[in-house]
Amino acid sequence: MSNALLEDLEWRGLIAQSTDRKELEQALSKPISLYLGVDPTAPSMHLGNLVVFLVLRRFQLAGHRPIPLVGGATGLVGDPSGKNDERTLNEEKLVAEWVSKMKKQVEKIIDFDDKKTGAVMVNNLDWTKPVSVLDFLRDIGKHFSVNQMLAKDSVANRLATAGISYTEFSYQVLQALDYLELYRRNDCKLQIGGSDQWGNIVAGLDLIRKVEGGTAHALTIPLLAKSDGTKFGKTASGAIWLDATMTSAYEFFQFWLNSDDADMPKLLKVFSMKDRKEIERLIETVNTNPGAREAHRELGREMTSLIHGADMAKKVEEAAKALFGQGEISELDLATLDSALSQLPKTQVKKGDPFPTWVDLLAATGVVDSKSAARRIVKEGGAYLNNKKVESEDFTPSKSDLLHGKYLLLRKGKRDLAAVEVAG
């Protein structure tokens, strides 16, 4: 018999590799517990993390119990998978802080309250920290063959290039220990993760078999790439983060809206929780009426609602509509303008103070990195005040330029907006 969840994941292109398909299908024929780990290597998760957590959510919606794990311990050590160079170790305090931030983000994606499938959050520091070095070497280390450890891609790649420290070399053992621990205490039978995690997951399966004589499963998810082969989820300003202070809700929505048409089928399948029929309909709209960008908008709405809440999603979409609308910007009413500009990076000018020069304003809002860059942009004809091109580098705005006596709308290029507010 086949399994609807696996078939759906397959259709979405979300399966890179798995342990024996038949056995996995059988295991999934009744509700199981499965785990997915994320290491706190930054203050926030990004879109790459979101992909795998959404898969965890898909399992939950199919009736299984998710165990999201934050790597309070593994984050202190550093995963060599997919890394060309040794990581710099982060302070314990910092890692602990990141752990708590990531937990909050996970709570937005996974349901913790459902009676049957409510998730259980765990932190591997809880069981890793108490283990002494000697116990670790005798009880755990004894089950690992260095020969096998060296053969893992993550280690082999590093041995062939930059080398690897004993610390990072040990990473796979820690992750294996996690799986064993969760197998024991939560009856966890499946671990999912990015495809770069295959080696680490398999290490866990081996350990479970050796220590407990038990069987568990593994499933990995392909790492996302854009249609042009470049890394996904990065923009000029860096990665797309889930934390609103790192990537604003407005930027987050804009990311989806500005995605390449060619990427839309893949993005919809990977990110959207909508069913196959609806996704196929949206993909069709990209072909029939690309200019409308219905699929872009719909996906932007769905993702922004998930991460930043439905109210915020609505707000940022409307802000975008107002700011990019065809109409005269000066005709927008104050309430709309207030709301729209609240989503943009903003700088303030004290009422009564003389206006700074145009170049200073651009630099102050952060749409350009330096005053030199600001001048360059004006020279190239890419600077706009209230949607009108600024011609001179020496330009200084005046009172008459203010919208509703209060705002200036600055723009660099087609879509990089910022606001100046005159504050009393």
Q: Catalog residues that contact RNA under the rule CB under 7 A.
A: 161-163, 228, 230, 235-236, 254, 257-262, 290-291, 293, 296, 320-321, 323-324, 363, 369-373, 375-377, 380-382, 412-416
Distance CA 104, CA 83 (A): 27
The residue among 185 and 414 lying less far from RNA, judged by its C-beta, is 414
The residue among 291 and 424 lying less far from RNA, judged by its C-beta, is 291
Q: What is the DSSP letter of 138?
A: I
The angle at the Cα of 51, spanning 7 to 241, to the nearest 5 degrees, equals: 170
CB of 360 to RNA, least distance (A): 8
CB of 263 to RNA, least distance (A): 8
CB proximity list for 192: less than 8 A, separation 6 or greater: 34, 35, 36, 52, 55, 56, 59, 218, 219, 220, 221
The residue among 117 and 254 lying less far from RNA, judged by its C-beta, is 254
Distance CA 424, CA 412 (A): 27
Q: How far is CA 165 from the centre of its chain?
A: 28
Task: Let me know how many helices (H) and strands (E) the chain has, helices first.
Answer: 20, 13
The residue among 8 and 294 lying less far from RNA, judged by its C-beta, is 294
Token code pair at residue 153: 């891609």
Distance CA 313, CA 321 (A): 12
The residue among 270 and 363 lying less far from RNA, judged by its C-beta, is 363
CB of 146 to RNA, least distance (A): 19
CB of 318 to RNA, least distance (A): 10
CB of 123 to RNA, least distance (A): 31
Cβ-based neighbour number of residue 132 at 10 Å = 9
221 beta partners: 194
CB of 296 to RNA, least distance (A): 6
> Beta 416-423 vs 238-239: how paired, if at all?
unpaired
Distance CA 165, CA 152 (A): 15
The residue among 202 and 377 lying less far from RNA, judged by its C-beta, is 377
The residue among 34 and 390 lying less far from RNA, judged by its C-beta, is 390
CB of 299 to RNA, least distance (A): 12
- Residue by residue, DSSP assigns 151-167 as HSHHHHHHHHTT---HH
